[in-house]
Amino acid sequence: MTLGSLLLVGSSLVWAPMGRAGTDRHEGGFLCTGSSRSHYDPPLTLEPRSTRVHADVTYTSCAVGPGRTVPATGSFDGVSPAAACLTLSGGRGEETVQYADGRRSLIVYDSATILRAAGVLALVQTGRVTEGRGKGHPARRTVTGPTRELSTGCLTSGLREGGNAVQLEVLP
């Protein structure tokens, strides 16, 4: 319930009206929602350290035009400068999104903000679409999940992976 409330609040604050979809020249904004499975190298422990993050993303719905939605898959690679089991830090990264209609987007994220509320962490990354659908438009990627509690993995060999909800907005 708390995660759903944070997602609703977050999406209400950051949602932008969709523009016209179509050719790259006149393309407006769009919204994708889904989930991701992240992999951490080195694994997350109690001690913050620079960590490479790879995430496989499944966007179950991308509203790419008025009344038009398509699913998509994404691949995110980035570096978190100080990641640990109990904390999260943002960093730079790059995501390739492949849409079911055959189009794709390459998005480069250059900044991130961490939000904490009611036991939920939200990482909000901002950047720009550099290739494909939405080229030239600003992008915002919001990754949310429960605050990580100490697990056996964190206390021993480290947490190697985790799952989160993801929202991608390409703004008009």
pLDDT, tens digit, for every residue of 144-155?
A: 987 655 566 777
Strand partners, 89: none
Rounded CA gap, 10 and 13, in Å?
5
Q: Is 22 a member of any domain?
A: no
- Domain tally for the chain? 1
Contact between 29 and 171 under an 8 Å Cβ cutoff? The reply is yes
Return the higher-pLDDT residue of 147 and 38: 38
Q: Is 34 a member of any domain?
A: yes
Return the higher-pLDDT residue of 105 and 15: 105
Domain with 73, as residue range(s), is 2-17+28-135+150-170
Please tell me whether the overall predicted TM-score, pTM, comes out greater than 0.85 for this model: no
* Residue 85, burial from CB neighbour count under 10 angstroms (0-12, 13-18, 19+): buried
Count other C-beta atoms under 10 Å from residue 13's C-beta. 9
